[in-house]
Amino acid sequence: MTMTPARTPTRFVEVTLIVFGVYALGVGLFMLFAPGAFFDTLGTFGVRNDHYIFDNATFEIPQGLLLLAAVRRPTWRVPALAFATVHWALHSISHLIDPHHGAGDWIGWLEAGGLVATTAILAFALRATVVTHNPAPRSPLESGH
């Protein structure tokens, strides 16, 4: 069985929405219910501040829910992926400017690199969604006119 060209990008987009949606939702819930453990493992930057950790949770949880909802609602995919791509790009810049992780600078640089790579994945999924939903117009020669 062969897949149509549009099917492969659609599958990539769906997997990206699910993976990033589950990740954002999971991180947000981790922040909300275990801010100390979150700080000790993932958020070891500066001094622990539960208020800021909760503030970030209130962003990550809805982002995760939006990405997961876009799996079932294709018309939500472009805005959801655009939003997530901008978020991850800004998050990447933050880590590139300040890579000084409590576990060591090399961990901070590793996280920054991971954020840049995941931003690229989101950007590719966004592009695939835009191209899939807005295919290039066919030339008169292709349409037989």
Do 77 and 20 form a contact (C-beta atoms < 8 A)?
A: no
Do 24 and 61 form a contact (C-beta atoms < 8 A)?
A: yes
- Phi-psi sector, 45: left (phi>0), alpha (psi -120 to 50), beta: beta
> Between 110 and 102, whose confidence is greater?
110
| Mean of pLDDT values over 55-77 | 97
Helices and strands in the chain: count of H runs, count of E runs: 6, 0
Picking from 3-12, 68-77, 114-123, 136-145, which range would have the lowest pLDDT averaged per residue? 136-145
Tell me, what's the pLDDT at 19?
Answer: 98
Q: What rounded mean pLDDT belongs to the chain?
A: 88
Boundaries of every domain in the chain: 7-132
Q: Supply the pTM of this predicted model.
A: 0.82
Tell me, what's the pLDDT at 37?
Answer: 95
User: CA-CA distance, 53 to 141, in Å (whole number)?
Assistant: 57
> Between 143 and 33, whose confidence is greater?
33
The identity of residue 25, as a single letter, is L
Tell me, what's the pLDDT at 27?
Answer: 97
Do 74 and 133 form a contact (C-beta atoms < 8 A)?
A: yes
- Whether pLDDT at 95 is above 70: yes
pLDDT class for 79, splitting at 50, 70, 90? very high
User: CA-CA distance, 16 to 132, in Å (whole number)?
Assistant: 15
Q: At what angle do helices 50-72 and 7-33 cross, to 10 degrees?
A: 150
Do 13 and 132 form a contact (C-beta atoms < 8 A)?
A: yes
pLDDT class for 3, splitting at 50, 70, 90? very low
